[in-house]
A and B are shown apart, each in its own frame.
Chain A
Amino acid sequence: SQQGEEDPQALSIQEGENATMNCSYKTSINNLQWYRQNSGRGLVHLILIRSNEREKHSGRLRVTLDTSKKSSSLLITASRAADTASYFCATDAAGGGADGLTFGKGTHLIIQP
């Protein structure tokens, strides 16, 4: 079963606009990561935020984490056509559980040129 749910499932915006994706999860976590997947390819790690952090930046990416609501958001600023991809949040369960990541279903982002 999948831990998280991304919202929206699909998002289409114009190049240059900002894109925001949300992720909710169910259990306590050690950290939360965001990955990008281009069509038919493997996943690329974007950013990791630990459970004791509230916000993190990396280039055009901004991630927030609210452990009280069990949710996270990924903001991509000044979007580019190359940002078109599926974006997944992945959690690492707290309490010594599985070391495999638990992924959500993803948000498919389309950047219109």
Chain B
Amino acid sequence: DTGVSQDPRHKITKRGQNVTFRCDPISEHNRLYWYRQTLGQGPEFLTYFQNEAQLEKSRLLSDRFSAERPKGSFSTLEIQRTEQGDSAMYLCASSLTSQKTQYFGPGTRLLVL
């Protein structure tokens, strides 16, 4: 399978704990995006990388959130001191710089108790 993969697919954690999600983009794609989707809503943009550089961050990305893409391949999204409001589906997508179409992974569903 050469699509975007995300791990884990589901995560249940207690409030105050830290969680980390991983995204592996399509191998030749140099852009990688993170989105958050809550129930009944469309995805909301969080941040994106061009290779290893994080070029843009949404105001939704509080200081408890950090994303990395150290070698320009896979990316991690960490949430520190999780809150119940962080419960959502976290989606990763990738694309080529020259293309506007984004290819999405299956998402990581986070539940904060």
Contacts and interface: CB of A to CB of B under 8 A. Distances in A.
A105 interface: yes
Contacts of A59: none
Contacts, number: 64
Interface of A: 2, 4, 30-31, 33, 35, 40-45, 48, 88, 90, 92, 98-106
Chain B contact residues, majority secondary structure: strand
B72 interface: no
23 contacts: A2-B42, A30-B100, A31-B100, A40-B109, A41-B106, A41-B107, A42-B107, A43-B43, A43-B91, A45-B103, A48-B101, A88-B42, A88-B43, A98-B45, A99-B33, A100-B45, A100-B58, A101-B33, A101-B45, A101-B102, A103-B42, A103-B43, A105-B41
A100 B42 contact: no
A65 B72 CA distance: 35
Interface of B: 4, 31, 33, 35, 40-48, 55-56, 58, 89, 91, 93, 100-107, 109
Contacts of B47: 100
A48 B102 CA distance: 11
Contacts of A105: 40-42
